[in-house]
Every structure is written in structure tokens, then in C-alpha cells.
Chains A and B, each alone.
Chain A
């Protein structure tokens, strides 16, 4: 019996990180010049980017104008602020600003700052597992499931399965976020890839895993929070 239907599956993939540059004139040119050294960042005009570089000394982007917008972005985008002096920077307490850079230190500090942001975003979106003594980075959104069999932990993607160096599913769970849940003691699935849940099975597009009675309630409550109609 089919008891759940997915209508809100997240298929968004992250190949490059979007960066918003809110400054003008020579400062903007300098920032864009520094950004060209990183292949992973693309400049975005929209307001849903991963990183925001803003010059609060510019009257167009002064705190009075953009404070409400920054508060909306607070926590979702990584904010890097540029200003003429430290006094302006100290007025922004309450916002999760990653780095405060003075205009005269821009060329010195911005490359390191961007490198740190890149490493952080990579760490947030991917995990590293050793497959046949080789390190491989896998995007978490692309992983479908982790399966444990005979003390080996297998990583499952759309059309392939890899043996990892992990020794238990608990260790894999430590690396992953809240998107992964156990469906039985040997299988952990990515909730974003579940297509249907029945009384005894969970289906991930082309694969089916048995659903244990103990994990069922837990899984259903997680899916309910994600907008599933049960």
C-alpha cells in the first residue's frame, strides 16, 4: 500500500558557487580581478547567492539602505564586508559577517578570504571518502544511500555503488547532515531522493529497500516535516 507521495523533491545541484558583488567603480574591478583566480565562483545578480561581498562605504550600499536585505540574508549567505575604517564595521554587530576588510587591505586579504570560503563551501557540500586507497569527493546531494554489508560500507549513487574505507554506518552518519536517515539497521538513505514509502519498503527512484518497523515512525515524521502528504 502506497502511503506517501513526494511532490517537493529538491533536484538542485551545486557545480559552482554564486557570488554577489555589491560595490562600484575601481573597487568592483579589483574584486572581480581577484575572483577571476577562482574557477569555482560565478558572479550572480540575484539575491540567492552563496557569498556576498559588499562595500558599506559606498552610499548606494550603506547600512541604512541595505540593513533589511542583509538581515534577510543573515545566516544563508556568507557576508564579506569592505569599509574605509573600522568604526563603520563595528556598527554591524548582529549580522553574521565572516570577514571585515578595510579598503586598503583588499588585495592582501581578499584572496585568502575567498580561499577559506571555497574550502568551507566544499566541506559543507561534499564529503571525502577513500575508495580503493584513493580519496574521492562526493557531493552529498548526489549520494542516494549508504549500505553496510559484511562490515563493508557501500556508497550508492545514481548508477554506481562504491566500497568505502568507512567501518560502520555510524561513522558515515557523523559525516552527513540531517538529510540522511536509517530505513533499517543496514541502510541509510538520502531523504531528498525518496520517491515513495510503503508499509514495508522505501523506494528511491529505481531501488527499493526494506523499511523496518522501528525506523518507520522516525522516517515518516522526517518526511512530514519536509512537506510530504501522508
Chain B
């Protein structure tokens, strides 16, 4: 069965390996900085420990906040969304499994495609928002259109339009993504100019 993965699948081993590498580089940075400072000022040893602990604590907190904690898998039967909590590293260290939300196409009461303005760190000016709703739960999946290849994006749109019981695309974004007459950003800007 063909699958499209949006986001990076989180493997515990890989994340821990990446953290180890990051720790090693930053340990060197801390040591070199401390060495230069200690040449100029005579510092007690505990200041090194305080510096090291604070540096690493802040580093991991920032890294944890910025890490992508969810990914989605689209297949021919439905959409699975895997979510980790905001205490991402603690979950990985303790081996906790992510929360899985499953939306089967046949069960969807509402499925609509819209857009929202992306944040400054994104590679795209606008992100797609896939609103999914079934009996007990609703979820908005944020999709960066540049993160998926055009082939995968077409496959995803095909699945939604053929298999979802209801698929609303009020802004005709799927047409824009398929036909590529003009970029998604220009298309949305024209839509907004019309609504002003």
C-alpha cells in the first residue's frame, strides 16, 4: 500500500544520537569559552559547573521546543497523526509511545482544505490547513506545501477527493497545486485582494 509521510518519522535512536552529537559540540564550545574567560578573570571551579549546567539546560529547552513533535502518514485507508507531548525528550528517554489519531476517509464527517499565513521561519508564505472531523474528534493539520513533492501532493489530493466522504475546497487550492499555472502564494494573494 502506498503511503505518503508528512514530516519526519521520529525514531528514538536517531534523536538520541543527534542529541549526543549536539552535546559533544556544545561541550567543546563551553570549554573553549570558559578557557578564554578564565585567562582574563580568575574564576572558581563552581562557576564552570554553573555555566555548563545552565548552558545545557537552556540549549535542550530551546531544542525541545523547536523540535517537530508530530508527523502524519497518509495511506489509501486513512490518515494517521502521531503526536508527542511538549516534554518530547523525556517521552523519548522513557520510551513512551506517541498519541495516534486515526481518521479513516469513510468516517470523516468534514474534510476541508484552506490556508493560513505561515510564520517567519517557514519556507513558504502560506501553509495549507487540512481540517478533519469525525464523530468524536476534530483536528487541523498544518501542511507546508513546499515540504511535499508535487507527485506526493497530487496523490494526497487524489485520495482526499476520491475517498473522503465530503471534501470541501472553497478556495480551489487543490486546482492551483495541481495545475501550477501560478504559484500558491500569488494565487492566495489574488484571493485575498478579491475579498478586501
Contacts and interface: CB of A to CB of B under 8 A. Distances in A.
Chain A interface bracket (under 10, 10 to 19, 20 to 34, 35 or more): 20 to 34
Size category of the B interface is: 20 to 34
A100 B194 CA distance: 29
A45 interface: no
A124 interface: yes
Contact of B175 (A78, A100, A165, A177): A78
Contacts of B151: 94
Nearest to A127: B190
Contacts of A175: 186, 189-190, 193
Interface stretch (A114-122, A143-151, A210-218): A114-122
Closest 4 CB pairs of A and B: A120-B172, A96-B178, A128-B194, A120-B175
A206 B169 CA distance: 43
A99 B162 CA distance: 8
Nearest to A117: B175
Contact of A129 (B178, B185, B193): B193
Contacts of A97: 158, 178
Nearest to B167: A99
A17 to B, nearest CB: 13
B137 interface: no
Nearest to A96: B178
Given A116-B175, A128-B194, A177 B158 contact: no
Contacts of B179: 75, 78, 96, 98, 120
A226 interface: no
A93 B193 contact: no
A92 to B, nearest CB: 9
Contact of B161 (A100, A117, A119, A120): A100
Contacts of B182: 124, 177
Interface string B143-173: 0000000010011001001110000010010
Given A120-B172, A128-B194, A174-B189, A98 B158 contact: no
Given A124-B181, A174-B189, A96 B154 contact: yes
A5 to B, nearest CB: 29
The binding surface of chain B is classed by DSSP as helix
Interface string A147-167: 000000000000000000100
B189 A90 contact: no
Contacts of B163: 86
A127 B190 CA distance: 6
Interface in A69-98: 75, 78, 86, 89-90, 93-94, 96-98
Contacts of A177: 182, 186
29 contacts: A75-B178, A75-B179, A90-B162, A93-B158, A94-B154, A96-B179, A97-B158, A97-B178, A98-B175, A116-B169, A116-B172, A119-B172, A120-B172, A120-B175, A120-B176, A120-B179, A123-B187, A123-B191, A123-B194, A124-B182, A127-B193, A128-B190, A128-B194, A130-B196, A135-B194, A165-B196, A174-B185, A174-B189, A176-B186
B172 A123 contact: yes
Contacts of A165: 196
Interface string B75-109: 00000000000000000000000000000000000
Interface in A22-72: none
A63 to B, nearest CB: 15
B154 A123 contact: no
B180 interface: yes
Interface-central residue, A86, A89, A124, A127, by most chain B CB under 10 Å: A124
